[in-house]
Amino acid sequence: MTVTIVEAGRTVVGGVDTHLDVHVAAALDPIGGVLGVESFGATPRGYRAMLEWMSAFGTLSKVGVEGTGAYGAGLGRFLRHAGVEVVEVDRPNRQVRRAQGKSDPADAVEAARAVLSGRCTGTPKSKDGNVEAIRALLVAKRSAREGRLRAVHQMRHLSYTAPDQLRCRLKGLSTKKFIAEAATLRPRVGGDPVVHATKVSLASAGTPCACSRRRDSCHRRAAR
């Protein structure tokens, strides 16, 4: 950790290169001089230590954070709640990256300089409140819908190659009726092994799809 004598009234700008487990922070003076670079854990305890470390150099005015929508989301929330202005930094300057190569300390310094120079001024999304709660629910909804579509697609192809008695039973049905029919299939032990295995596959895939369609229908009625 870099040790320096704090000047009275000095303004400090911070920059953070974020990662899954460890964030690398840099502190700069008003003319871009590097006051220090340090690593901190990506945890609430690490966030507090980072804030205290930056504030020890002077009055912390702004902090540029990379990945506020990903690895830096938690840090961004913490700093905002602490009353620190957070600036979203997309990525390090390409010219600097080519000249210095990939370096977490250099990226943290560049993030701070992007804020200090005014090159980055964007305000990151808050990642909290009702909007973020809805976003999280939509992620799950989209994932379930995509999974259901994949399952139906696989079921259709399985029915095309099924034994004739089963293929004819499922042929020409709408998606809704096809899923419902597949969910009612009852495999019987001792019969044709291909028929049995196909029914098992279709029934196991059809039951979750049918339940998913019922949930979507209920949600739509509730929203009216």
> Tens of pLDDT along 108-166?
999 999 999 988 877 766 556 566 667 667 777 788 788 888 888 888 888 888 888 88
Question: Cβ distance 69 to 126 under 8 Å?
Answer: no
Task: Round to whole Å and give the CA distance between 55 and 61.
Answer: 9
pLDDT value, residue 196: 87
Average pLDDT over residues 176-192: 84
Q: Which CATH superfamily is domain 11-116 in?
A: ATPase, nucleotide binding domain (3.30.420.40)
Residue with the larger pLDDT of the pair 190 and 105:
105
Task: Round to whole Å and give the CA distance between 111 and 107.
Answer: 6
Question: Cβ distance 87 to 72 under 8 Å?
Answer: no
Taking alpha carbons only, the member of 173, 172, 165, 162 closest to residue 201 is: 162
In the chain, CATH 3.30.420.40 sits at 11-116
3 state SS of 142: helix
Any idea which residue has 């938690």 for tokens? 74
